[in-house]
Structure 1
């Protein structure tokens, strides 16, 4: 889903929606939560993420970030996803 309704240039990796409730999710595949990169490609991808985060901030949106290190913790990732689904369902009146 586009981050801004009138501008489809910037899109979230995933969007959970229910009614008017929504959560934008970005999968940060270039680094862990420490933002350490190993090469020029990863630095480029991180810069691209930072530009998307600026678009979010301009809209007053705080996206959910899923970094590489979270992917190595499946129980924690599942808890995060379950919580997001429950929150969006409750806020959107879909539960």
Structure 2
């Protein structure tokens, strides 16, 4: 499942969906990326992410395919946010 969206998401809900997706799973790995709120960001209050619909999903799908080729990936849920994001917002 790949979603490119503007709205926020609940990592716990996504974890539960993976947990309930079928038997035989030995581990669930998660990663939640955040808009950085540190560093040399004088005056920065957020960012705006643009994307090319269709191309974005295709690239992410390629990453999932490559991971599945290398490891026994049973399921994947990838959410990538676009649009206006504030500092410390979830991004992936």
Do they fold alike, i.e. is TM over 0.5? no
| Richer in strand (by share) | 1
Larger radius of gyration: 2
Give the structure-2-normalised TM-score.
Answer: 0.30
| Richer in helix (by share) | 1
Give the structure-1-normalised TM-score.
Answer: 0.29
Larger relative contact order (CA 8 Å, sep ≥ 6): 2
